Structure 1
Amino acid sequence: MGAQALVSSVEDISLYTHGLVDAIDVKLIGQTDPALQWALREFADLKSDSVIGSDDTTSVLISDSDLSPSLNSIYRGQSIQWKSQIDFSQMDGFDWIKWFDMRDVPETNQNLLLWARNDLFKGSSQN
């Protein structure tokens, strides 16, 4: 979960397409989380931008929102749970009892979307 799943997925795509785990170009879209930048620090071609350009050809995009419809035909994506935090604001008396008894609490999850260009995959129509 989190950083390990994200980095592993990007490394798999890089290894499949370039033969090296850190050779693929990656762009973070609207992501300023230092933990995310640190997790992907080994990728030589890591860039960051606030928006996705309509003519963007980056191999891997990472965002927290869906791509524009024009790019959906160029990329395929997967959701990865990035962070999970205890949501203390949602806890009532029953939740506190569950916490003390079973260590079970309500959580808030943050997912990231990992997008890879379709032409990187064998058998794609753009290949």
Structure 2
Amino acid sequence: MTTGWIGAGKVRARENGDAVEITVDGLTTQAKYYKPLIYEFMRKEWRGARPSWGDHVVEIRMEHVGEPPIMDLDNLAKAILDAIKGYLFHDDAQVARLIVERFEGERERIMVRSFPRR
């Protein structure tokens, strides 16, 4: 079952079956920008699924228009994992599979999808 999007600012999230999907509109070259942005959203607005134990999969997709921003994807992944830890899973050591990709898209955004590993 897919729920509607929560959030009206730069960050929005929804549940889609057992997955949680998060989108962040816009891009910056500073990966550390995303940790407090997503963390504050999760702390103030997220009322969905509680953190669970066991292995998890996290998929992070950065979409850009034109030339990609100069950003280390590993730093982006770390910032996002730190922000969602405690909300979607208890510890980032539970992430058994992590996919981080950069694509040219129709708009600049970051999409995150997290779900328990089956």
TM-score by length of 2: 0.29
In terms of fraction of residues, the more strand-rich structure is 2
In terms of fraction of residues, the more helix-rich structure is 1
TM-score by length of 1: 0.28
